[in-house]
Homo-oligomer: A and B are copies of this chain.
Amino acid sequence: MDRYIKALRAVRDNEPLVQCITNFVTVNDCANIILASGGSPSMAKDIREVAEAVRGVQALVCNLGAIEFIDSMIAGGKEANILGKPVILDPVAAGGTSLRREAAERLLKEVHFTAIRGNASEIRFLAGQEVSGSGVDVSKVDAITEENLTDMVEVAKSLASKIGSVIAVSGVIDIITDGTSVVVLRNGCATMARVTGSGCMLTSLIGAFCGAMPEDFFSATVAAMAAMGVCGELAEEQRLEKGTGNATFRIDLIDAVFNLTEKQLMEGIKYEVF
């Protein structure tokens, strides 16, 4: 637990500047959740300035939803690799179309990612498995359940070992692994899937945590995933109490990150070393 509290504290203390190359659907929420966490966002994505911008930041987040900015991701990612700064990938709908399949393959070949956060369909695709998802949401066949958990853990571990990245699979159950250690989280709530960009926001948060605690990317990723899950539960409590919907939930979720205490994270986290 201590290392996750340490990660939360590091984000508030170090105020990491996080560069995101992300899509137009959720970019505002990604910026605001980074600000809520204590970090500072930069959303510059133009190929003519992205590498230069990366020099001033603590982490780079690449979101495949911004499919037209793959060249910027590669330019920024290579610069971050040279400088030893963390690069996080969100492989949005990676297996959904041939354009995205090729883009994801190119990214993995040209950039080393510190961490990759996706849903089960996206991670299975990156691991070379057949997937059935057609859109941005996880396909029902692929979604993590207690039944297929062990299998999904193996897929994630093997991908992590192969490419040397922390792999984070989010869903009803979350899996985080560096190929050796595996942590399973059972936080969050169903309403998170009714808000666009909850995945993108989570990946941005991982960027903030990794940028703030570069000495332990695995723990930083677990801490960010746990923070998001706990905050999802806090926002869901409010939704049920106030009778609101997915729009207020989104606001309450970001607010919960803004106000998250170490006590809330410590008491709320449901984790298991797998």
B residues near A247, Cβ cutoff 8 Å: 32, 36, 250-255, 258
Q: Which residues of chain A from 46 to 61 have a CB within 8 Å of any chain B CB?
A: 46, 48-49, 52-53, 55-57
| Nearest Cβ on chain B to A38's Cβ, whole angstroms | 9
* A140 to B49 Cα, complex, angstroms: 23
B residues near A42, Cβ cutoff 8 Å: 93, 135-136
| Nearest Cβ on chain B to A232's Cβ, whole angstroms | 14
| Nearest Cβ on chain B to A227's Cβ, whole angstroms | 13
In the complex, whether A243 has a CB less than 8 A from a CB of chain B is yes
In chain B, what residue has the closest Cβ to A191? Answer: B258
Q: Which of B23, B41, B57 contacts A196 (CB 8 A)?
A: B41
Is B43's CB under 8 angstroms from A25's CB?
yes
B residues near A264, Cβ cutoff 8 Å: none
* A252 to B247 Cα, complex, angstroms: 7
Q: Which residues of chain A from 35 to 91 have a CB within 8 Å of any chain B CB?
A: 35-36, 40-44, 46, 48-49, 52-53, 55-57, 65, 67-68
| Nearest Cβ on chain B to A95's Cβ, whole angstroms | 12
In chain B, what residue has the closest Cβ to A244? Answer: B255
In the complex, whether A26 has a CB less than 8 A from a CB of chain B is yes
Mark the stretch among A96-104, A105-113, A123-131, A175-183 that contacts chain B.
Answer: A96-104
In the complex, whether A142 has a CB less than 8 A from a CB of chain B is no
* A155 to B32 Cα, complex, angstroms: 32
In the complex, whether A28 has a CB less than 8 A from a CB of chain B is yes
In the complex, whether A17 has a CB less than 8 A from a CB of chain B is yes
